[in-house]
Structure 1
Amino acid sequence: MSKSVVVFSCSVAALILTFLLFSMLGILFFYWGDHTAVKDSLSTVSGIFGGITTIGAAVIAAYLFNDWKIQQRYQNTLQFGLDVYSNFKILDDKFTQIKNELCLVQAHYEAHVVPKRTNALDYFLDKSEEISRKNLEILIAFNKFHESYLNYLIVTDQENKIDETLPYTSDSINKYYELLGKIKFESESQKRKFLIDELLIPPFSQIDSYIYNYYIKSILIKIRE
C-alpha cells in the first residue's frame, strides 16, 4: 500500500471522527439538562454517523482499488518487460557467438586459405558449414523475443507500436537467417567468403544493437519510471 493511500484513509477517518465529536459537543451544549432531547439527538447523530461511516468506507475502498490497479499495472510492466529483456539476452548471445565464429573463419580464410596452406580449405569449408547450420537458432531466439515483446505491448496498452518497426525487424532477421543458411549450400570457397563478409557488415552486423537501442532501452526506461 502506498503512502498516499494511508494518508487518504487517515484523513477520511479523522474527518468522520471530527464530525462525530463536534456533533456530540453541540448536542451537550444546546440540550444540557434535557435528558430526553440529548438522548434523541444522540440517536439521530448515531444514525447519521453510521451512514457517513459507510460512505467513508466505500470511498476508501474505491481509493484502495485504484491504488491496487496502479500497483498491478506496474507489476505487469515489470514482469513482461523483464521477460522481453531475458529473451533479448538469449538472442543477443546467439548473435555474438555467431559473429565471433564468422570473424574467426574470415580471418582463417585470409591467413591460411588464400596462401593455400595444407588442409586450410577443408577446415574453412567444415567450420563455415557448422556455423551456417546455426541459422535456425537465431530464428527460434528471435521468435521468442518477438512473442514476448508483443505480449508486453498488449499488457502496457501500446498496441500502436506493433506495426511501427516490428515488420522491418522481422524482415531483417529472416534475411539474416536465409543468408547464414545459404553458406552451407555454396560449394565455392570464395563465394562462401563473400557471404561471410556480407554478414559481418551493416546492416546484418548491427541487428542486435538495433533491437537493443529501439526496443530494450524504451522498456528499461519505462520500468525505471
Structure 2
Amino acid sequence: MRNINPVALSVVGGVSILAATYILFWVLFLCLDSPNAAREAINILGSYFGGVATLWAAFIAAYLFNDWRVEKNYDLENKYLSNIVIGLRDIHAELLEMQDSSKQIKEVPSKIISYASYLNRSRFEIKPALNKLDADVLIYSRLLNDKDLLDLLENLKGYCYSFENQYNQLIHKYYRDYLNKLNDYFSSTQIVNIDHKDKTSYERIYLEDERRFLSSEIKEIKKFFYLHKSCNANGEKISIDFLELADCSVEAINKFQDACIKKLRPKNET
C-alpha cells in the first residue's frame, strides 16, 4: 500500500461513496410506497452516508499514519547507516596506509627502506573511531531487529585492534630502531647519499658494510614478520602472521561497508 497516492485514494473512495448513495437513493425512492418517498429516502441515506463517511475518514487517517511511520523508519534506518558508512571512511584509509607501509618495511632484509614519514605522519586512531560506531550500529540493530551488522562490527574490531597494536610495535620499536641505526651508520662513516635529494625518503640495495652494520635490526624486523600473532576474530582466538592480519583487517572493513551499503534503501523500496 506504500505506493498508493493518499489523495487519489481519498478521491476514489469519495466518488465510490457518492455513487453508492445515488444508486441507493433511487432504489429506496422506487421501493418506498409513500407520497414523501424522496424525503424518507434522503433521511435514511443521510444516516448511512454520515456513518460511511466517518468510517472512510478513519481509514484514510490510519493509512496516512502508517505511511508516516514507514517514512520515519526509513529516515532513521538510512540516517544511522549513512553515519556508519561515513565513520568507516577514515578507518578504511588508515588501514590501507598501514597495510602499504607494512609491505614496504617487509622489504628491509633485501634493501634499505628509509621513510621517516612512517614514524612522523599524523595517525588516525582506529580503536576510538570503531568504538564510536558501536552506538549507531547498536541502535540500527535494535531498530530493525538485525544482528548482522553487530556481528560484522565485532569481527572487524577483532582484526583491527590486533593489527593496530602490532603495527604500532613494528613502527615505533623495530622500524624506529632500524632507522636510528641507519642514521648512525651514515653519521659514523660520513657517507652522503648523493643520489637522493630527500635523505629521509628513499630505498636502494644495501652496500655490504651497510648490511653488516644493520644486521641485528634487519634480523629483528625479519623475525617480526615471520612470527605469528594472536588475534580474536569470528568469536575465536586465532594465530596469524602480520601481513595476513593486515589483509584480513582490510577485507573485514570491506565486508562491513558492503553490508551497510546494501542495506541503504531507496525510498521507492520502503
User: 1:153 aligned to 2:141?
Assistant: yes
In the other structure, the counterpart of 1:118 is none
Give the CA RMSD over aligned residues. 3.2
Q: Percent identity?
A: 16
In the other structure, the counterpart of 2:205 is none
- In structure 1, the residue corresponding to 2:4 is in which secondary structure? helix
In the other structure, the counterpart of 2:156 is 169
In the other structure, the counterpart of 1:68 is 68
How much has 1:180 moved relative to structure 2? 1.7
Q: Is the 8 A contact 1:2 1:67 kept in 2?
A: yes
How much has 1:46 moved relative to structure 2? 0.9
Gaps in structure 1 of 5+ consecutive residues: 114-122
Question: 2: CA distance between counterparts of 1:107 and 1:220?
Answer: 36
Gaps in structure 2 of 5+ consecutive residues: 179-216, 229-240
1:39-188 map, 5 Å:
39-107=39-107, 110-112=110-112, 123=114, 126-130=116-120, 134=123, 137-158=125-146, 160-161=147-148, 164-183=151-170, 184-186=172-174, 187=177
Q: Which has the higher contact order (CA 8 A, sep 6+)?
A: 2
Letter in 1 for 2:165: E
Task: Give the TM-score normalised by structure 2.
Answer: 0.64
- In structure 2, the residue corresponding to 1:185 is in which secondary structure? helix
CA shift digits 1:47-100 (9 cap, x unpaired): 221111011110111122222222222222222111111111121111122223
Question: 1: CA distance between counterparts of 2:129 and 2:4?
Answer: 43
How much has 1:175 moved relative to structure 2? 1.1
- Size of the aligned set, in residue pairs, is 210
In the other structure, the counterpart of 2:13 is 12
Structure with greater proportional helix content = 1
Q: Is the 8 A contact 2:92 2:253 kept in 1?
A: no
Letter in 2 for 1:95: L
In the other structure, the counterpart of 2:248 is 206
Q: Is the 8 A contact 1:103 1:200 kept in 2?
A: no
Which stretch of the first structure deviates more once superposed, 40-49 or 57-66? 40-49
Which stretch of the first structure deviates more once superposed, 91-100 or 203-212? 203-212
Question: 1: CA distance between counterparts of 2:72 and 2:61?
Answer: 16
Question: 2: CA distance between counterparts of 1:206 and 1:107?
Answer: 20
In the other structure, the counterpart of 2:207 is none
